[in-house]
Amino acid sequence: MGHRRTLGRVRRSCRITPMNVLTPSTSRETDTGMSRLALSDADKEARDWFEKVTKSLGCTVTVDEMGNQFAVRPGKKDGPPTYAGSHLDTQPTGGRYDGILGVTAALSMLRTLEEQNIETEYPIGVVNWTKYVV
């Protein structure tokens, strides 16, 4: 399912360059991985990116009152979607795979379905959770 593509996006998410496919310019690399704090400008950029990418893959994106993003790709039949995902923000010194691996893996799933013209029986989606900030 494009594991090289997924891991490449994760690695790029820890770099600060304008050419990054994923990483907002305000994310930064740390000794242990990266830092993109919840509800920061960097998190907003990542959320905007998530919405843009999922819509390009045929998803409808909704946001709940906590800020969680739900991208849903329709299936042949209506019904509750099955979700995969995680979060795009990190802990202050989060590891390289803190959250982003789950989101990028789920996006790779959507991309593969789209590229192979696979229509699922029921809706399928990707979630980007919002970390609770005190």
Can you read off the two tokens belonging to residue 117? Answer: 């013209």
pLDDT tens-digit map of 58-104: 999 999 999 999 999 999 999 999 999 999 887 776 666 777 888 99
Cβ(35)–Cβ(94) below 8 Å: yes
d(CA 91, CA 7) in angstroms, rounded, equals 20
- SS3 (DSSP) at 51: helix
Look at residue 25 in the predicted model and tell me its pLDDT.
Answer: 44
Q: How many Å apart are CA 39 and CA 130, to the nearest integer? A: 8
pTM of the entire predicted model: 0.77
Res 29: pLDDT: 56
The string of pLDDT tens digits covering residues 11-36 is: 555 543 223 434 444 555 556 567 77
- Minimal CA–CA distance to 71: which of 119, 103, 36, 44? 103
Regarding the domain with residue range 3-128, which homologous superfamily does it belong to in the CATH classification?
Zn peptidases (3.40.630.10)
Per residue in 101-127, pLDDT (tens digit) is: 889 999 999 999 999 999 999 999 999
The C-alpha atoms of residue 59 and residue 67 are separated, in whole angstroms, by 17
For the chain, the domains span: 3-128
Name the pLDDT band for 54 (thresholds 50, 70, 90): very high
